Amino acid sequence: MFQSIEHCPEITEAPPLSCPGLTRASRGPAFDIRGRNRIAGSSPAMTKVEPIRFVYRRKNPKEDRVMARSATLENLVSSQFGSQAAAYVASPVHARGEDLRLVADEIAATRPERVLDLGCGGGHVSFAAAPVATEVIAYDLSSEMLAAVAEEAAKRGFANIATHQGTVEQLPFADTSFDMVLSRYSAHHWGDVPAALREAFRVLKPGGRLVMADAVAPVRTVCDTFLQAFEMLRDPSHVRDYSIREWQAMLAATGFTVRATTPGHQPLEFSSWIARMRTPPVFVEAIRALQAAMSEEVRQHFAIEADGSFVLDNAVFVAQR
């Protein structure tokens, strides 16, 4: 698929010869660390630099998901989640948790008529809203996720859940048409969170509630960097786990009044965390290697266990339009 290094988006500089899934089809001269050709035998001072042009071909495109190419973040999200819809419906991490309980408490306290669940995934927030609300729209990029939610809603007897496909950055709903907008464990995949928040604000009635629940970045920069690195290795559709301060600033900048911020923790069992995203073995190894190489401070922050299991920081934000 990739004809040259310039067309391989995952590689930003001269790749190692062992670049997974790629074979070096035309072996050029040695390259220096700036990725440029060097004339054999010349001294560094006499080095003539020219752009390097290696041609790389995938060994077996069908077997190798590592180099799969996606035109947009939305394609990547859909391909990551589409085939895993059933796993997200069944996932105990998503079906339970203190954060889900807080979202459910807020729904019960608000008693909304119309609810919008952004990035509904396996539908657990929609299922929490359905017994209270008149109508729930489960909204997601992935048609497979929405089909799984519709099937599960029918099994649970929730006739008031409707599904709708689309991106959070552009909501196909009228201004001031919802009493509550909810979202859980989805925003770290969004390409433009401020745009999505503006849309949430637009579709909410004045006084309406937004409840955002997501993984959050730790305050310590080194822990933040580590988290984003292993999230990205696990799932290339990861964009960013924002910090609590970043969330509060984005919500306020949109015009929301932040009513409550509740930090929490989500223990994650490593093998099921990896299996849910079908993380390729090369990236699983990289996460494990990264975990082994981390400083004690980072290891302790995430409570990393021998099998790779760890504890994620999360938070629930309740905001009002």
Ligand X SMILES: C[S@@+](CC[C@H](N)C(=O)[O-])C[C@H]1O[C@@H](n2cnc3c(N)ncnc32)[C@H](O)[C@@H]1O
Phi, psi of 231 (to 5 degrees): -65, -45
The 288-317 contact track toward ligand X, x by CB under 6 A, reads ------------------------------
Closer to ligand X by CB, 180 or 294: give it.
180
- Stretch in the footprint of ligand X (CB under 6 A) among 43-51, 135-143, 199-207, 263-271: 135-143
Using CB under 6 A as the binding rule, whether residue 236 contacts ligand X is answered as no
The 88-107 contact track toward ligand X, x by CB under 6 A, reads x-----x-------------
Closer to ligand X by CB, 77 or 102: give it.
77
Closer to ligand X by CB, 81 or 270: give it.
81
Using CB under 6 A as the binding rule, whether residue 125 contacts ligand X is answered as yes
Find the binding residues for ligand X in span 143-182 (CB under 6 A): 145, 167-168
Closer to ligand X by CB, 112 or 122: give it.
122
Closer to ligand X by CB, 52 or 141: give it.
141
Q: Rule CB under 6 A: choose which of 112, 122, 208, 308 binds ligand X.
A: 122
CA 258 → CA 133, 193, 219, distances in Å? Answer: 23, 16, 19
Q: Say if residues 91 and 59 touch (Cβ distance below 8 Å).
A: no
Number of shown-chain residues binding ligand X (CB under 6 A): 21
- Nearest CA to 120 out of 172, 210, 184 is that of 184
Closer to ligand X by CB, 79 or 176: give it.
79
Closer to ligand X by CB, 24 or 65: give it.
65
CA 204 → CA 178, 195, 197, 319, distances in Å? Answer: 5, 14, 11, 11
Q: Rule CB under 6 A: choose which of 67, 77, 250, 304 binds ligand X.
A: 77
Q: What count of other Cβ atoms lies within 10 Å of the Cβ of residue 23? A: 12
Which pairing describes strands 114-118 and 135-140: parallel, antiparallel, or unpaired?
A: parallel
- Stretch in the footprint of ligand X (CB under 6 A) among 36-44, 186-194, 259-267, 313-321: 186-194
Q: Rule CB under 6 A: choose which of 58, 106, 142, 180 binds ligand X.
A: 142
Contacts of 180 (CB under 8 A, 6+ apart): 106, 107, 110, 112, 114, 115, 116, 129, 133, 204, 208, 209, 210, 211
C-alpha torsion sign, points 131, 132, 137, 142: negative
Contacts with ligand X by CB under 6 A lie at 77, 81, 88, 94, 119-122, 124-125, 140-142, 145, 167-168, 184-186, 189-190
